[in-house]
Amino acid sequence: MRTFKEPKGLQRWCRARKLAGAKIALVPTMGALHDGHLSLIAAAKRRGADEIVVSVFVNPVQFGPNEDYSAYPRDEKADLAKCRAAGATAVFFPTPANMYLPRHSVYVNEEDLSKGLCGVRRPGHFRGVCTVVAKLFNLAHPDFAVFGQKDYQQAQVIQRMVRDLNFDLEVVVAPIVREPSGLARSSRNTYLSAEEKERALAISRALREIDGTTFTDAKGRRATTAAIAKKLTAAGLVVDYVACVDAATLAPRKAIGKGTCVLVAAYDGKTRLIDNRVF
């Protein structure tokens, strides 16, 4: 397994591999790798990638001023070992200074899907995500890139960016990996105390319990999202949003059914957790 710190080094190697006919997969991450991330590497392998490039970069540009950029868990050594064991063939560990040169001034803005949901609480977040992912696409020349459904809105935004900016690659979205308790795996779960972890289970439970719920108009939708919010609040979480949207457009849905996505964001103590379910 190769490791790269310099963007140029990664770019040269990927270009050479591509010219030699290799099928390249990119798995962008912020590290503190867990089974959710490793499932993306496994998905890349299953799709026949010859080279699987995992990027590990806590991207400062996607964090707001009061967010957890400094506290975000980092463990380069463990991440390398996990990538190797999972079958990655290259790991890219850039520093903020070599990803963002002095006077960096070009950013990518997706202006539709980014606006609602997490975009409300985290202004500038998707601008940071799109910018870094566009840079990674230009460095790794992937045939496809694998993202997790865990960050549903992010996956949609990236797909839109790929379409609208004509990136020549396929976006693959892999299912959410959960702990046995149902909690969606996340690097941020390491912030949770035992008590907070217990409380967090209300999120996946409420999403599971939607089964059998039906509604056919906006009033019914509001009743459903309010019922979910009530369960989360009762468990001791502070709800940011509960939304029931069209899985493709992220616009509010009038009826539940195929193509509906229910998304939740809630604070568990200081930790912001997200989860979703697609029908």
Residues that bind ligand AMP (CB under 6 A): 29-30, 36-37, 39-40, 147-148, 150-151, 174, 176-177, 184-187
The rounded distance, in Å, linking the Cα atoms of 4 and 208 is: 41
Residue 241: which H helix or E strand, with range?
strand 238-246
7/128 with CB nearer ligand AMP: 128
| Minimum distance, C-beta of residue 220 to ligand AMP, in the bound complex (Å) | 30
| Minimum distance, C-beta of residue 212 to ligand AMP, in the bound complex (Å) | 25
| Minimum distance, C-beta of residue 139 to ligand AMP, in the bound complex (Å) | 17
174/206 with CB nearer ligand AMP: 174
14/43 with CB nearer ligand AMP: 43
122 and 268 Cβ atoms separated by less than 8 Å: no
The rounded distance, in Å, linking the Cα atoms of 262 and 170 is: 25
Residue 34 is among the residues annotated as catalytic for this protein: no
| Minimum distance, C-beta of residue 39 to ligand AMP, in the bound complex (Å) | 6
* Assigned token pair, 265: 């964001």
| Minimum distance, C-beta of residue 27 to ligand AMP, in the bound complex (Å) | 7
Burial readout 35-57 (b: 16 or more C-beta within 10 A, e: otherwise): ebbbbbbbbbeeeebebbbbbbb
Per annotation, catalytic residue among 37, 104, 125, 141 = 37
136/239 with CB nearer ligand AMP: 136
Nearby residues of 247 by Cβ (< 8 Å), 6 or more positions away: 259, 260, 261, 278, 279
61/176 with CB nearer ligand AMP: 176
The rounded distance, in Å, linking the Cα atoms of 183 and 164 is: 34
Q: Which of 271, 278, 250 is nearest to 68 (CA)?
A: 271
Residue whose beta carbon is closest to ligand AMP: 148
Return the active site residues.
37
